[in-house]
Chain A
Amino acid sequence: MWSFSKISKLIDSWLSVHFSSTWTMVIEMVIAGIAVITLFALLGLVLVLMERRVAAWIQIRLGPNRVGPGGMLQSLADTLKLLVKEGMTPDGADKFLFNLAPFIAMIVAMLLMAPIAFASDFQLWNLNIGVLYVTAISSLMVISILMAGWASNNKYSLMGAMRSGAQIVSYELSAGLSIMSIVVLSGSLNLNEIILSQADGWWIFKGHIPVVIAFIIFIIAVTAETNRAPFDLAEAESELTAGFHTEYSGMKFALFFLAEYINVFIVCAIGATLFLGGWMPLHIGHWQAFNHVMDFIPSSIWFFGKTFFLIFLIMWFRWTFPRLRIDQLLDLEWKYLLPISIFNILLITLMAILGWHF
């Protein structure tokens, strides 16, 4: 059966026959880069369409239905429109930083792709501190937003960027603590080993209620970290027009837009990896027959299925809840999520020491 790991091995063996080892390395890196960029473009198109469709159905509307069969080409048409638009730079802006910011956003999103395991044995970089890498890089997201807000020389932009800074810095704590709970349970920072530790059941099932609480906190915190409603204070259309990307137009705006959706995908992929077993099929303890049946579904389908389920969850939140005020937002983090997650991680540590999980 074809799988991603088999294809990658075939390409690798073909290249190593025809080229020297250095050139094999270089060509493989180029292929990986092109694959990541293609994935970005595809994800942007699919997620924007999915978001609009989910929003429409939740609001009892039809959603995009004019371009292509059932509106399936809507996001492609939008991309084409954005590509031919003029990318303006305002007069008062800090030109260098203004033009740099969207690329920083994209580069951060790209770097986050590296340690994610898309299928069994299919990973760009099997890093032994994958979890640490992800939490470290994802906090760089705020730099691009602050840069965009500052360089725009616009009050709305600056206000949005400052809010976003406060928000991301505070919500990183509870996101980090809930990620740590899985590290405590699995005893590894390597994303691949964390997935392998879930071969006899996903952590959300094996870890009882404390892990479910950690999962809920994780989902809330990453929704805030990716600046999506109900925590979209950085954009807050009704208050700040568009927040940090008010002054952006054309493809530079599209890069921010794309980076937002890529970040949503990445945090959902991390969530799926940590709590729902990544590419690991649904295994229940020692039910050998059941586990074998589940193994027939390819691992990439498991990974993308779980990730898209989490993405749907985040979209569902977006179209259900009203936006929080900034004081309510910080209240929620510092008075509720943080104490609960600190208590929770103590509980999980106790659980891991005493072996109270399956």
Chain B
Amino acid sequence: MFILKYIKEVFSGLQSLAVGLRRTLYYFSHHKEIITQQYPDNRDTLVFPDRFKGEVVMVHDDNNEHACTGCTACELACPNATIKIITKFDITPEGKKKKAIDKFVYHLELCTMCNLCVVACPTDAIKMAQTFEHSVFNRAELTKVLNKPDSKIREGVE
């Protein structure tokens, strides 16, 4: 019946609106449970969600060794040319030439924190750090070299 369907529609509509209103009234009356963080005040005790992405960093262990083989998978994955890898050739003790990174250049000013480079990395050499206060007075400071000086590739990482 048309009229019955119409009335049913009106009532179910009102009911669904009431559900929404009840939810927001609950939030309104429990305003002490805020979910935002008062950032400059709680700078020391700031809690980050796990998936917060601040900038790309290269993981170095205690022996100043990283896992980057210089395969440039991240450079290829990057949608806006944020990463530039400059490679060199090391001579191994056996006398063979081996490809290694010279500089891992990272342009923070171009990065959109899309995480594609981290996903693309076959050896988990880079990851997303949670630092976020990136303001600087000189734009050149945003171009970073991620591998530390004198660092070398960890043994066994191919």
Q: Which residues of B contact A57 (CB under 8 A)?
A: 27-28, 31
Contact partner of B31 (CB less than 8 A), chosen from A60, A317, A320, A321, is A60
Bound Cα distance from A319 to B20, whole angstroms: 10
Residue B42 at the chain A interface, CB threshold 8 Å? no
Q: Which residues of B contact A316 (CB under 8 A)?
A: 21, 24-25, 28
CB within 8 Å of A: which of B30-52?
A: 31, 33-36, 38
Q: Are B38 and A320 in contact (CB under 8 A)?
A: no
Q: Are B25 and A61 in contact (CB under 8 A)?
A: no
Instruction: Give chain A's interface residue range (CB within 8 Å of chain B).
Output: 10 to 19
Q: Kindly report which residue of chain A lies nearest to residue B19, judged by CB atoms.
A: A320
CB within 8 Å of B: which of A287-339?
A: 316-317, 319-321, 336
Q: Which residues of A contact B38 (CB under 8 A)?
A: 62
Known pairs A57-B31, A320-B23. 20 more at Cβ < 8 A?
Answer: A54-B28, A58-B24, A58-B28, A60-B27, A60-B31, A60-B34, A60-B35, A61-B34, A61-B35, A61-B36, A62-B36, A316-B21, A316-B24, A316-B28, A319-B24, A320-B20, A320-B21, A321-B17, A321-B20, A336-B10
On B, residues with C-beta under 8 Å from A are: 10, 17, 20-21, 23-25, 27-28, 31, 33-36, 38
Q: Are B27 and A58 in contact (CB under 8 A)?
A: yes
Q: Which residues of B contact A199 (CB under 8 A)?
A: none
Contact partner of B33 (CB less than 8 A), chosen from A60, A320, A336, is A60
Q: Closest Cβ of chain B: how far from A313's Cβ, in Å?
A: 9
Q: Which residues of B contact A340 (CB under 8 A)?
A: 10
Q: Give the residue among B24, B28, B36, B38 with the most A Cβ atoms within 10 A.
A: B28
Bound Cα distance from A83 to B31, whole angstroms: 33
Residue A59 at the chain B interface, CB threshold 8 Å? yes
Top 5 nearest A-B pairs by Cβ distance? A57-B31, A320-B24, A60-B35, A58-B24, A57-B28
Bound Cα distance from A60 to B35, whole angstroms: 6
Bound Cα distance from A345 to B49, whole angstroms: 55
Q: Which residues of B contact A54 (CB under 8 A)?
A: 28
Q: Kindly report which residue of chain B lies nearest to residue A340, judged by CB atoms.
A: B10
Q: Closest Cβ of chain B: how far from A43's Cβ, in Å?
A: 22
